[in-house]
Chains A and B, each alone.
Chain A
Amino acid sequence: MSSIELPSRQDVEDLLYKEAALLDEWRLDEWMELLTEDAVYEVPPTDVPEGDSRNTLFIIADDAVRIRSRVKQLLGKAAWSENPRSRTRRIIANVRVIGTDGDNILATANFAVHRMRYESVDTYIGHYDYKLVRVGNDLRIRERRAILDNEALRPHGKISFIL
């Protein structure tokens, strides 16, 4: 039996909506404050959505060092694929608090992330699996995995912003 008290769905929604707003507004330094020091961000390949990044070639499998570097790059000038920046708009829905795993709180949500760039609109569709932890009165993100329903990144071509 876990001794962790599950957060309410509204608490989790508040966190995910805030995250979506910070990412859409490119406030990436503030977004990182929502993450734990050991956070992980992963996007599995479209053909092995349930894979493990240790034995499967992912699209993104960032540890905390790489997340920080990714943000630094994206806020700099030389990430050409995001300079000029994409406009993104995230629709987060079907938020569910699933349970616990050790001291992690498991939550999931559906997403539709629209990216607008050079007058094309590409839509990334899928769901997030989150591992959240309580830090004081707040929830922090220890792991976020964006699992695409798109069968291929076509015509998207790339995931150059933070999905």
Chain B
Amino acid sequence: MDKSAESYVVDDQDKGLFRVNRRAFTDPECLAEERRRVFDKCWIYIGHESEVPHAGDYRSRNVAGRPMILVRGDDSVVRVLLNTCTHRGSLVCRQKSGNAKTFQCPYHAWTFSSRGQLVGVPGEDSYSDAFKRDDMALATPPQVDNYRGFVFACFDPAADSLYDYLAGAREYLDLVADQSELGMKIVAGQQSYSARANWKLLVENSYDGYHGLPTHQRYFSFLSDIGVDMKGRDVAAPSYQKAVDLGNGHAVVEYQSAWGRPIAHWVAPFGEHRKAHFEEVRRRFDERFGPERSRRICETSRNLGIFPNLVINDIMAITVRTFYPVSPDYMEVNAWALAPADESAEDSALRLDNFLTFLGPGGFATPDDVEMLEACQRGFANREVGWSDISRGMKREHPSITDELQMRAFWRRWNQLMTEPQLKRARKAA
């Protein structure tokens, strides 16, 4: 195999070997390239439209290192505004969330509407005729779009539409979005955490079926202790499972899970008193979608990775998770719970309770994932061991969820973006 210093990925389909250069996890120059070639070129998740339900509602947040405002304007249109005054640069919004008719820069009191238009400049008569308010609106990413409530932005004006970009991932977003006829909502409360590890390690981890048993044995012991029937639901070899390359670097694993799902898969710890309600919900899904799609929505779990940095895991609850590199060995992670907008208070409480059994920085699983990513990152200091192996299941006709097809889908797209000639740049230089 050619493992030249310049290549990040060795993808030998004849031999069935796939290797990733650990420089991809450690090299500051690689991160600088990622910012330009990945984060500035791809559609990046900003937030969910349910987070700004009313005109004037806003959330300010850092997205891939940039302070942005997700805001529903007074015209009810959800926009993404870049949180920097077009005058001299200050943040115009310094609150985390709220409702506002305008954003007034605290520095010189320039005022912007909830649509981003410049509507007030103190002492405007001191500017020349060449100064136009229209030129000085708050900037927006060149492309902003929404798929079934999930709002994304893209800094490449020439990029494919969000619809085309999502490719095969749309089918799996639909399986989540279809869980309510009234739409889905982000539940209050953001889990804001971090890992002392490269961001791509969390991509790999988020749909890695191979690590489930060794890393999370304490979680499966807990399930067994509280009375979940683990028989016939072998977590290592579930009866129904598939791993799918969804195109454009997106991938998913879908499988029959042991844990209960608050949408409509009852397990004993949920209580006998809830059984009839779950059956009723299931019957409504059967009516809406037919038995096959209803079964997928209700019974199967999905770990979905949307390239480059959005994870939607529809497992014992639904988590929306996004993360950004701060440095090669440190990332910031934000995670939320997604739920049917019309879910009852009792169902919502059960969902959140089930979420916390596994997920989040205080759950019975996520802390151990963070531990493993950090252990990998520390291990990478052994520069003599230059490559990670991601070959598992490469020669199998139908790789299982404990194989590594899903990670290879990510890495192939990542490698393509990181190594393809940048034509525009080359032309300009010439």
Measuring CB to CB, which residues of chain A are less than 8 angstroms from any residue of chain B? 43-48, 51, 53-61, 65-66, 69-70, 72-73, 76, 78-82, 118, 120, 151-160
Interface residues of B in 330-352 (CB under 8 A from A): 330, 332, 336-337, 345, 348-349, 352
- The docked-state distance in angstroms from the alpha carbon of A54 to that of B343 is 12
Q: Which of B255-263, B353-361, B389-397 contacts A (4 or more CB under 8 A)?
A: B353-361
Q: Do the beta carbons of B194 and A157 come within 8 Å of each other?
A: yes
Min CB–CB distance B214 → chain A (angstroms): 9
The answer to whether the Cβ of B221 comes within 8 Å of any Cβ in the partner chain is yes
Q: Is B337 within 8 A of A57, CB to CB?
A: yes
Contacts A59-B362, A158-B367, A160-B367 given; indicate if A79 touches B188 (C-beta within 8 A): no
B225 touches A154 (CB 8 A): no
How many residues belonging to B are interface residues under a CB distance threshold of 8 Å? 42
Type the 1/0 row for B177-218, where 1 means its CB is closer than 8 Å to any CB of A: 000000000011111111110000000000000000001011
Residues of B within 8 A of A (CB): 96, 187-196, 215, 217-218, 221-222, 225-226, 330, 332, 336-337, 345, 348-349, 352-353, 355-357, 360-362, 364, 366-368, 370-372, 374, 378
Assuming the A-B contacts A65-B226, A118-B378, A157-B374, are A57 and B191 also in contact, with contact meaning beta carbons closer than 8 angstroms in the complex? yes
Complexed CA–CA distance, A47 and B367 (Å): 20
Q: Is the CB of A81 within 8 A of B368?
A: yes
Q: How far is the CA of A104 from the CA of B225 in the complex (A)?
A: 30
The 6 closest A-B CB pairs, nearest first, are A57-B189, A152-B192, A60-B362, A81-B367, A45-B189, A158-B367
Q: Point out the residues of chain B lying under 8 angstroms from A155, CB to CB.
A: 194, 196, 330
Given contacts A45-B191, A157-B196, contact A57 B355 (CB under 8 A): yes
Question: In the complex the two chains form, what is the Cα distance from A48 to B96 in whole Å?
Answer: 11
CA distance A58 to B353 in the complex (A): 9
Q: Report whether B356 and A78 are in contact in the complex, using a CB–CB cutoff of 8 Å.
A: no
Contacts of B370 in A (CB 8 A): 81, 157-158
Evaluate contact between A59 and B188: CB separation under 8 angstroms: no
A77 to chain B, nearest CB (A): 9
A154 touches B332 (CB 8 A): yes
From A55, A79, A151, A157, B349 is in contact (CB under 8 Å) with A55
* Chain A hits for B215, CB < 8 A: 80
Could you say which residues of chain B place their CB within 8 Å of the CB of A156?
A: 193-194, 361
Please name the residue on chain A nearest to B197 by beta carbon: A157
Known contacts A70-B364, A73-B222, A153-B361: A55-B188 contact under CB 8 Å: yes
**A78-B191 in contact (CB<8A):** no
Task: With CB as the reference atom, state the residue of chain A lying closest to B375.
Answer: A80
A159 touches B352 (CB 8 A): no
Residues of A within 8 A of B193 (CB): 152-154, 156-158
Q: Decide if A79 touches B368 in the complex (CB within 8 Å).
A: yes
Chain B residues with CB under 8 A of A69: 222, 225-226, 364
27 contacts between A and B (CB under 8 A): A43-B362, A45-B192, A47-B96, A47-B189, A51-B189, A53-B352, A54-B352, A55-B187, A55-B352, A56-B187, A56-B352, A57-B190, A57-B352, A57-B356, A60-B362, A70-B364, A73-B218, A79-B368, A80-B371, A81-B367, A152-B192, A153-B193, A157-B196, A158-B193, A160-B362, A160-B368, A160-B371
Instruction: Give the distance in Å from the alpha carbon of A47 to the alpha carbon of B61 in the complex.
Output: 12
**With A55-B352, A154-B192, A157-B195: A78-B367 Cβ-Cβ less than 8 Å:** no
With A79-B218, A81-B367, A158-B367 known to touch, is A58 a contact of B189 (CB < 8 Å)? yes
Residues on the A chain within 8 Å of B188, using CB: 48, 51, 55-57
Most B Cβ at <10 Å: residue of A81, A156, A160: A81
On whether the beta carbons of B361 and A159 are closer than 8 Å, the reply is yes
What CA separation (Å) do A159 and B187 show in the bound complex?
A: 21
Q: Which of B96, B189, B361, B374 contacts A44 (CB 8 A)?
A: B189
CA distance A99 to B273 in the complex (A): 37
Smallest Cβ-Cβ distance to A44: which chain B residue? B189
**Contact residues in B for A159 (Cβ distance below 8 Å):** 361-362, 367
